[in-house]
Amino acid sequence: MSFQGHNMLQYSKFNNSNMKKSILFLLGISLCFITFAEQKNSISSPNGMITLSFHKNDNGNISYELFFKNKSVIKPSSLGFKFSKPDVILNQYEIVKIDSSTFDENWAPVWGEQSLIRNNYKELAITLKATPSNIIIKIVFKVYDEGVGFRYEFPEQQNLNHFIIDNEFTQFSMTGDHKTFWIPGDYDSNEFAYYTTSLSNVDGNGGGKVQEIFAKSPIADNAVQTPLMMKSVDGMYINIHEAALKNYPAMNLLLNKSTYSFTSQLVPDAVGNKAYMQAPATTPWRTIIISDKAKDILNSRMILNLNDPSVIKDPSWIKPQKFIGVWWEMHVGIGTWDLAGGQAGSVVGNFKRHHGANTANVKRYIDFASKNGIPSVLVEGWNTGWEDWFGQWKEDVFDFVTPYSDFNVEELSAYAKAKGVKLIMHHETSASVTNYERQMDTAYRFMKKYGYDAVKTGYVGHIIPRGEHHDGQWMVKHYERVAKKTADYHIMVDMHEPVRPTGLQRTYPNWLACEAARGNEFNAWSVGNMPEHETILPFTRLMGGPMDYTPGIFKIKMNYYDSAKKEQVHTTLAKQLALYVTMYSPLQMAADLPENYEAHMDAFQFIKDVSVDWEESKVLDAEPGDYIVEARKGKGTQNWFIGAITDETARSLPVALDFLNKGTKYIATIYRDAADADWKNNPEAYVIEKFVVDAKTKLGLMLAPGGGTAISLIPATAETLKKVKGYK
């Protein structure tokens, strides 16, 4: 059945009753249009709070706009492409067809922040013919209660199915000079401290202050990376990112300050092209998440929903887990990745410098893991090549199967197995990606031979093939190749220095975590991460997926290792515990040295207890750049955990426990900042208290400057009820 006419598909946000009638009548119907001076087609979210409108004017130009609770969020913003093959600009179109549909399902991720996720949206799919090239393109909008995802689809064409994209003209036109949390639009690194400015003060190179150790590519003026978090001038929270980034370059955003409008900036390849596509093909989803409550941004699962289901039919071998590792001692300067540096035996403060990945030292970590129920131990610097690896643009530095002479792989594999511990492999590629791809099968067979089930990869340096970028199409395809290949070998993977995640952990659940941001290690040898850093990351980098942030540092000041060092972690010890709840990852490292934990085993108990896989997650309160309070229920348990963190400002935060099971008593173990704790002057001062609580309890949390609180809530037994007092 088809109709001809103007605005036959008008789901107008201004007439709810007519909208409902139109939806009931027109769902699933394909409509054909005659071109008029302007065509406007609108569709609203399932709860009616978000409305998207698609426009085509009499010149054939197309645009979209977005409303939340009848307030403008995205002003009319253009859509289109420039191809270099064929040499055409796609900005004038005829509408061929408009389809609409609804979708509602519940699905269970292999692991995650929720054991069950609802995927509920309304879809508007518009098929267009570009003029005069006659290229067919479809734009699909999915409108959720929390935002919108849209992408371009190129069906098989009649004449030409190979395209080279020179530019993508996707705009995001903001309504005002919003408060913005951003990092520069570098093509090779995400490891920047966040700037918090108005849009009018965004400067892609940080006012000339961007001097990060891992910044490699030219940074365009006013270019920023996604995920981009904003708070509008009228109090709305807006997050822009992308989902399902496959076979396409990452999208940065180029800001026009005069209009507060962003335009997509795709990461180029070695010869300046952006993307090579063969129809049928799709772009990633462009995502806009919106709410008038900051906590709703963090509670969104829209990016996951926009990704394809898992390709792994039997994921039973995938195990979320905690681990420790021979890692932090290298960052604090007492250990080395390379054998030669460790054999020099120099003294660092009260410590003798050593090669970290020596057999005896690794056994010490295995012993600690076994004793404390930590499943795995990561070993970095075990293989030859570290003496000549960084920044040299050399192709054959590592071979991934040749250990140093002081690392006995057979002995350690047997020792770990006897202790009930798994070793985690480390593959630093030095960004020589072609070298790694040639050796992946050999490396993964080596891993399986010695019982390794997980690998941490690294891509520090200039990408080989020369001229490619970490965030370009070639590397995006490489990361997916690694995810597929490791899955073939039943290996879990944690990628460092990759493109920022976009929800592909749904499709490849063996891809447990990524770095792709400024992690905890920066605190050991640089100006570090300011206390607000961890209150921004969940609203930015973690919107796309889990981060291997490496929390759990107990020895806060680096002068412990060397009196000459002035660096420190910008945190209290209690905040480091809270990060296990607020910084989500199914692969969580207890990052400090075993001896530093042994000095505080009462606090380490929280790390032992806290889950890494969750039945339910609830952000209770949040404000980007200021504070986050989150509660999570461990999968398969009745145990809840709460993490609360703040920036440099001390805070008093009320927390109602009304999410607990009614009628059940819990023992709340509260790990909090001491009264005199302070991230700068007294960071290791903490107090542990126990109380009986229930769903009626309201806690009052006191967070020190740069501090936090971690709480475990475990159902009480008759015996514990006798020993623990109620909370007042």
The per-residue pLDDT for range 85-101, each reduced to its tens digit, is 999 999 999 999 999 99
Give, in order, the Cα–Cα distances in Å from 311 to each of 29, 118, 283, 510: 31, 19, 19, 10
pLDDT of residue 394: 82
Distance between CA atoms of residues 52 and 45, nearest Å: 8
Question: Which neighbouring-strand residues pair with 653?
Answer: 701
pLDDT value at residue 346:
80
Residue 32 is predicted with a pLDDT of: 34
401 in the Ramachandran plot: left (φ > 0), alpha (ψ -120 to 50) or beta? alpha
The closest of 257, 178, 179 to 223, measured between CA atoms, is 257
Query: Three-state SS for 292?
Result: coil
| Structural tokens at position 78 | 């253009």
Identify whether the C-beta of residue 105 lies closer than 8 Å to the C-beta of residue 118.
yes
Q: Which residues are catalytic?
A: 521
Strand-pair partners of 238: 230, 290
Q: How far apart are CA 350 and CA 85, in angstroms?
A: 63
Instruction: Count how many residues are written for the chain.
Output: 728
Query: Side chain identity at 427, as an amino acid letter?
Result: H
**607 — phi, psi (to 5°)?**
-65, -40
Tokens 């919108």 correspond to what residue?
A: 148
Domains in the chain: ranges and CATH: 16-305 (2.70.98.10), 323-516 (3.20.20.70), 568-728 (3.20.20.70)
For tokens 């070793």, name the residue: 423
The pLDDT assigned to 522 comes to 97
Strands 492-495 and 454-458: parallel
Give the Cα separation of 55 and 154 in Å (integer).
20
Its pTM stands at 0.93
Rounded to whole angstroms, how far apart are CA atoms 61 and 208?
37
pLDDT value at residue 290: 98
Name the token pair of 129. 């013919």
Distances (CA, A) of 454 to 376, 379, 487: 9, 11, 10
> Which residues, 6+ apart, have CB-to-CB distance to 362 below 8 Å?
326, 377, 379, 407, 412
Contact 355, 406 (CB under 8 A): yes
Cα–Cα distances in Å, from 706 out to 535, 575, 576, 589, 718? 10, 8, 10, 21, 37
Digit-coded pLDDT (tens) for 627-649: 999 999 999 999 999 999 999 99
Sheet containing 614-623: give its strands across: 614-623, 627-634, 640-646, 708-715, 666-673, 686-693
Helix (H, G, I), strand (E, B) or coil at 626: coil
Q: What is the CA radius of gyration of the chain?
A: 26
Ranges assigned E (strand) in 402-554? 422-428, 454-458, 492-495, 511-514
- Cβ neighbors of 306 (< 8 A, separation 6 or more) are 142, 149, 243, 244, 285, 287, 503
CB of 431 closer than 8 Å to CB of 468: no
Residue 352 confidence (pLDDT): 87
Q: Among candidates 300, 325, 378, which has minimal Cα distance to 545? A: 300
Q: What is the pLDDT of residue 16?
A: 37
CA distance 666 to 639: 9
pLDDT at 21: 31
Residues lower than pLDDT 70 in the chain? 1-38, 204-219, 391-392
Model pLDDT, residue 392: 67
For residue 330, give the DSSP letter: H
* Three-point CA angle 699, 701, 705, nearest 5°: 175
Q: What share of the chain is helix, strand, coil (3-state, %, to 5)?
A: 20, 35, 45
Contact (CB, 8 A) for 469 and 461:
no
Q: What is the pLDDT of residue 351?
A: 85
Residue 218, pLDDT score: 58
Q: Residue 238 and residue 230: Cα distance in Å, rounded? A: 5
- The rounded distance, in Å, linking the Cα atoms of 55 and 39 is 6
Q: What's the pLDDT score for residue 254?
A: 97
Longest dimension (CA), the chain: 83
Q: Of 222, 137, 235, 240, whose CA–CA distance to 179 is shortest?
A: 235
pLDDT of residue 521: 97
Strand 587-589 relative to strand 321-326: parallel, antiparallel, unpaired? parallel
CA distance linking residue 525 with residue 259, whole number of Å: 40
Measured between alpha carbons, how far is 677 from 573 in angstroms, rounded to an integer? Answer: 9
Cis peptide before 705 (omega within 30 of 0): no
Q: Give the H/E segment covering residue 652.
A: strand 651-656
Q: Give me the DSSP letters along 634-703.
A: ETTSS-EEEEEEESSS-EEEEEE-TTSPTT--EEEEEEEE-TT-BTTTBTT-EEEEEEEE-TT-EEEEEE
Strand order in the sheet with 81-85: 87-90, 81-85, 162-168, 275-278
Measured from the Cβ of residue 178, the count of other Cβ atoms closer than 10 Å reads 21
CB 4 within 8 A of CB 33: yes
What is the rounded CA–CA span in Å between residue 48 and residue 69?
Answer: 8
Q: Which residue has the tokens 């799709």?
A: 282
